[in-house]
Structure 1
Amino acid sequence: MLGKKLVTAQKRGETRALFLGLGMVACSVIMYFFIGITIVPAYKRSVWTNESVCTLMKASIKDPVHCMYNEGSGDENIFRYPCLEVEVNLTRLGQVVKLYHTEDTVDRNPQCSYVPPNVENYGEVQKEVEEITDNFRKHQTFSCFYDPSRKEESVILKRLYPPEDLFFAFIWPSLMLLGGVLIIVMVKISQYFSVLSASQYRTGT
């Protein structure tokens, strides 16, 4: 009687472990799919792949511009923000070009080097843009990224998805997939030895 209970408990444990392993594999596949349709395309679209050194030539705040990334919503002219314009000397090529914060900045508003994430409070946005301008003027030499083919003449200060971020994005689903596969393999091995032990016991009796 006790032996049957132990066998039943063992089978239940194996079933739960098997479902856990399959769940981990399924979650990792979903995470791979999510990364594949969001981060990877954005990484591939970026042409600013080579790193160089940029020297500040000009950092000025122009007249406020309309918020351009709410087009179609009907309220794109409600919010305005100061337009920071930064020009740098791309040391590697000896060219004076426009600097943008990230790839996303170029898409959202090519007029400005920086687009604030929140433009509802004009006073706070103006203070933020002024602080960024002062920071540029204090640190006039810094790293930047440019397009080696020079189809895109501008440069960016920061890549949204550098190679190391893409690597870390794949680490967690990979570890989860590995863990799920190991659990499944261990359950199958346990089941195999259980069947082998049972068959030897029957043969011996």
Structure 2
Amino acid sequence: MSIALDARIVRTRAALRQAMVDLATESALDEITVRAIAARAGVGYATFFRHYADKEALLADVADALTGDFLTQVRPLLLQKDRRGAARSLCAFVQDNLPIHRALIAGGAGETVRAGMLRQTLETLGRARSSASQDPLDEMLLFHLTSSILNLLAWWLRNLDRVDAETMAEIIERTVLTPVGALRKQPPEGLGEPGG
């Protein structure tokens, strides 16, 4: 009985997330209502609130799912230290999911969702590291890397008409990924040895 219930919960949440993504392609985030999300997902209005406290909670779940999908996709490139490939993959992923990324990163989703994306990415990247490091430099660089990329993406999503994906990938690689890689190899004095 609980397995069937769990499967139904998973399906309902997936339907609600997809409805939010679909509606973001049609309307501004602040125009999307819980009623519209529930209707698009094919669930009752009250059912929405059995799964999410409000639209912002659903947006946070959408952001978590997108972040997880992207990190799964880019992990092999990061393990190969293919910084340009990782940056290209990131920009392509954002473009493939453009309306929802605009809403989450550069739109009206607010700082709560963006902070959630930062938290999710930091947690996922932290778990993916080969060894748990106690080095504060590793922690700082991971925070810098993630928050810098989110800020650059927010700028890009507001300026898509001025910068194409290939150029943005190069900017991310040259201004964030390569410098962070260099700092990991040669930390500033007083911050200890490079982490693992």
TM-score (normalised: structure 2): 0.21
**Which of the two has greater helix per residue?**
2
Larger radius of gyration: 1
**Which of the two has greater strand per residue?**
1
TM-score (normalised: structure 1): 0.21
Higher-RCO chain (CA-CA 8 Å, sequence separation at least 6): 1
